[in-house]
Amino acid sequence: MQSVWNPWHGCKKVSAGCMNCYVYRMDKAFGKDSSIVEKTNAFDYPIKKNQYGEYKLKSSDSPVYVCLSSDFLIEQADEWRSEIWDMIKERGDIDFKIITKRIERLTECMPEDWGEGYENVTLICTCENQEMADKRLPVFLEMPIKHREIIHEPMLESINISRYLESGKIEKVSCGGESGENARVCEYDWIVNTRNQCVLHNVTFVFRQTGANFIFREISNFHKRKKRESISNPLVNRSMNGESRRYSSIMNRKIMIWKIPLIVYFCSCRNRRFTMRYI
Ligand code: SF4
């Protein structure tokens, strides 16, 4: 089982991956300004107790994902973070997973007794494209962290992280497409490429979600390559040489649903953990 803990809400966009941030999309529906960072009522959620003096958050609720409606390392939360570290220390029975696009701020946000990192904390660095991978991952690998993961979500292009994986410091890589009405394209090839890098370096790979604009191109080695014309609502993309290629969203192509088991098959890592959610 897994849980979510949002001690604060609101964020500021920092890179291309933030363009269609779901926090902004959700807040917009309620006329809320997402750029204002505020403490939530769940601020002390991990240490809240019931009438019997027991923690409401059980060990079985682990892992707990922290700050999914903000960024844990955002500047606006600096004054509150020390309390959060105390709670995380108190709940040593729970694994906390912290996802951030601001990994370069970790040094100034660490608690005094951080040392080489808390055993029950996993830092997850998000890199949506090659530029952000090459900017954030070298810093990520240098930081004192006990458990490291990488997320490419929304994955915006093919990303080569082999040189970071070969460090042996990355425990898991997750990929996923973008959700929402204006979702940008995520290609099956990119996912398979990352999966292959993980297999090569013996790193756990997870395909989290296709997103709303997933492209399955004719890349199969065991199926004949065929041009697939879009059936409805086609999206036309331009390849590097200017040749027009026709794509379409998997969400709008019922005919492509039968391929989902193939995607699962391709992305499965033999002898490695694989999960596929939200499909
Ligand atoms: S860092 Fe995350 S929560 Fe913040 S704006 Fe970007 S995508 Fe949204």
Residue given tokens 């192509």 in the structure block = 253
| Under 8 Å between Cβ of 124 and 97 | yes
Which residues does 241 contact at the CB level (< 8 Å), separation at least 6? none
Burial of 18 (0-12, 13-18, 19+ CB in 10 A): middle
Identify the residue whose C-alpha is closest to ligand 1 atom 3: 70
Distance 133 CA to ligand 1 centre (A): 16
Find out whether 153 and 143 touch, Cβ atoms under 8 Å. Answer: no
Nearest to 77 by CA among 13, 12, 3: 12
Position 4, amino acid: V
Mean pLDDT along residues 196-218 = 94
Concatenated DSSP letters for 240-261? TT--EEEEE-GGG-GGGGGGHH
**Position 279 pLDDT exceeds 70:** no
- Joined together, the tokens standing for residue 151 give 């997320």
pLDDT at 2: 87
Backbone angles phi, psi at 212, to 5 degrees: -100, 0
* Each residue's pLDDT tens digit, 42-57: 999 999 999 999 999 9
CA of 24 to the centre of ligand 1 (A): 8
pLDDT band at 265 (very low <50, low <70, confident <90, very high): low
- Residue 257 pLDDT class (50, 70, 90 cuts): low
Q: pTM value?
A: 0.80
Provide the pLDDT for residue 269.
47
- Note if the bond before 63 is cis, omega within 30 degrees: yes
Taking the CA of residue 17 as reference, the ligand 1 atom at the shortest distance is: 7
> Average pLDDT in the 195-203 region?
98
Chain position carrying tokens 């204002």: 36
Q: Which pLDDT value is given to residue 129?
A: 98
- Tell me the CA–centroid distance for residue 125 and ligand 1, in Å: 12
Q: How confident is the model at residue 217 (pLDDT cuts 50, 70, 90)?
A: confident
Mean pLDDT of the chain: 85
Helix (H, G, I), strand (E, B) or coil at 274: coil
The better pLDDT of the pair 248, 74 is held by: 74
Q: Which of 4, 9, 14, 182 to mutate to test the pocket of ligand 1 (most atoms within 8 A of CB)?
A: 14
Percent of the chain with pLDDT over 90: 76
Candidate from 4, 6, 18 with most ligand 1 atoms within 8 A of CB, to mutate:
18
CA nearest 206: which of 146, 143, 139, 278?
278
Enumerate residues lining ligand 1, CB below 6 A. 11, 13-14, 17-18, 21, 23, 70-71, 101
E runs forming strands in 60-171 = 64-66, 96-100, 121-126, 147-152
Tell me the percentage of the chain whose pLDDT exceeds 70.
Answer: 78
End-to-end CA distance of the chain: 18
Q: Looking at ligand 1, which residue's alpha carbon is closest to its atom 4?
A: 11
Atom of ligand 1 nearest to the CA of 70: 3
Compute the distance from residue 80 Cα to the ligand 1 centre, in Å: 19
Max CA pair span of the chain: 68
Q: Sheet of 3-5: strands edge to edge? A: 3-5, 64-66, 96-100, 121-126, 147-152, 172-176, 204-209
- pLDDT band for 238, please (50, 70, 90 cuts): very low
Token pair 């993309």: residue: 237
What's the average model confidence in pLDDT over 87-107?
A: 98
Name beta bridge partners: 252. Answer: none
